[in-house]
């Protein structure tokens, strides 16, 4: 039996210190140890992108990361998007709602976290750049057209100086 490791991870701004088995994936740690169920698991082998989170502001598949690898790092999940008290949706969330960028919604947190990284680095992406960014996220419901529109809408609304 492998010995547990003490890890300290900041998730959505909150510090967590836990003892975990080394083999525990970050996805399972977030979902089951911390109760952050928004990071969904679709394949557990790094293809579908549903579990995408940000580690130190960079997108990563939580199923391809061990919780111990997150020791000392900052993780952001979909739960970080919504305003904590008012519940107001983040512009990316609102854009997905307004442009009907989801159906079952299972893959959506992964798409939105990927979009967050994209728009932080490139506030005005072309359609090709959006496709390139989202190429690692599978959606079985929407056929992607409305997802593309959602990202465009989010970019438009998040541009500096855009009307709130």
Partner 1 sequence: MKPAPFDYHAPATLDEAVALLTRLGDEGCDVKIIAGGQSLMPMLALRVARPEVLVDLGRLEALDYIRDEGGTLVIGAMASKQAAADSDLVRRAQPLFQAATELVGHRQIRNRGTVGGSFAHADPASEYPAVALVLDTEFEAVGPDGMRTIPAADFFVTYMTTSLEANEVLTAVKFAPFAPRRRWAIQEFARRNGDLALAGVAVTLDIEAGLCRDVRIAAFGVQATAVRLTAAERMLEGRPAQPQHFEEAGRVAATALDDPMGCIHASPDYRRHLVGVLAARALTEAAARPQ
Partner 2 sequence: MAIEIPTLPEQLPNDAPRHVGKAVNRVEDPALVSGTVEFIDNCVLPGMLHCAILRSPHPHARIVSVDTSAALAADGVVAVLTGEDVRRWCDPVFTAPEGWGNYCMAVDKVRFVGEPVAAVAASSRYLAEDALELIEVEYELLTPVATPEQAMASGAPLVFEERGTNVMLARKYEWGEVDRVFAEADHVVSRRFRWNRVGANPTETFGCICQWDLADGTLTCRGSYQTPRFMGIGRAGSLRLPANRVRIIAQPMGGGFGGKGGPRGTDIAALLSRKAGGRPVKYIEDRMEYLLAGGGQSWDRYYDAALAVKADGTVTGFRVRLVDNQGAGAEGYGTISAAKPLAAFTGNYRIEAAAYDLTLVATNRAPSYPYRGYGPPPHNLVLESLMDCTARELQIDPAELRRRNYIRPEQFPYTVPSGNEYDSGNYGQVLERVLALADYPALRARQAAARAEGRLLGISVVNTVEPGVFDWNAYATVGVPGIGVPEGVKVALDVFGNVTVAVGFNLQGQGQFTVAAQVVADYLGVDMAQVRISTAASDVAMPHFGQGGSRLGVAVTGAILGACEKLKAIFTTVAAHVLQLPADDLVLRNGRIQRRDAPAHGMSLAEIAGLMLTRSDLLPAGVEPCPEATYVWTAPNRNAPDDQGRCRSYLTAAYATHVALVEIDRDTGRVDILDYSIVDDCGTRLNPANVEGQLQGGVAQGVGAALYEEYVYDAQCQPLVSTFVDYLMPTIHEVPMTRKDHFVTPSPVAPLGAKGCGEGAMHTTPAAILCAINDALAPLGKELLETPASPHRVWKLLQEAGSAIANGPTGTRT
Q: CA nearest 54: which of 32, 41, 73, 33?
A: 73
Shortest distance in whole angstroms from residue 160 CB to partner 1: 22
Q: Is 129 in the site for partner 1 (CB under 8 A)?
A: no
Rounded CA-CA distance 54/37 in Å is: 15
Shortest distance in whole angstroms from residue 27 CB to partner 1: 10
- Count the neighbouring beta carbons within 10 Å of the beta carbon of residue 160: 5
Q: CA-CA-CA-CA torsion for 87, 109, 91, 118, nearest 10 degrees?
A: 150
* 104 contact choice in partner 1, partner 2, none (CB below 5 to 8 Å, kind-dependent): partner 2
Q: By rule CB under 8 A, what string of x and - marks binding of each residue 19-48 to partner 1? A: --xxx-x--x---------------xxx--
Q: By rule CB under 8 A, what string of x and - marks binding of each residue 65-84 to partner 1? A: xx-xx-x-------------
Shortest distance in whole angstroms from residue 51 CB to partner 2: 11
The DSSP string of 52-109 is: EEEETTEEEEGGGSBGGGGTT-EEE-GGGTS-TTT-PPPHHHHHHHHTT--SS-SSHH
Contacts with partner 1 by CB under 8 A lie at: 1-3, 5, 21-23, 25, 28, 44-46, 49, 52, 55, 58-61, 63-66, 68-69, 71, 114, 117, 132-133, 135-136
């Amino acid at each position: 039996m492998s010995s547990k490791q003490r890890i300290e991870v900041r998730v959505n701004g909150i510090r967590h210190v836990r003892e975990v088995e080394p083999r525990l994936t970050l996805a399972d740690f977030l979902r089951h140890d911390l109760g952050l169920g928004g990071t969904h698991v679709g394949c557990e082998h790094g293809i579908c992108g549903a579990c995408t989170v940000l580690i130190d502001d960079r997108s990563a598949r939580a199923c391809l990361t061990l919780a111990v690898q997150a020791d000392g790092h900052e993780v952001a999940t979909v739960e970080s998007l919504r305003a904590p008290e008012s519940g107001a949706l983040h512009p990316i969330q609102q854009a997905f709602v307004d442009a009907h960028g989801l159906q079952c919604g299972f893959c959506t947190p992964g798409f939105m976290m990927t979009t967050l990284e994209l728009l932080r680095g490139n506030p005005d992406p072309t359609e090709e750049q959006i496709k390139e960014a989202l190429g690692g996220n599978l959606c079985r419901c929407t056929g992607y057209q409305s997802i593309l529109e959602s990202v465009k809408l989010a970019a438009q609304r998040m541009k500096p100086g855009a009307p709130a």
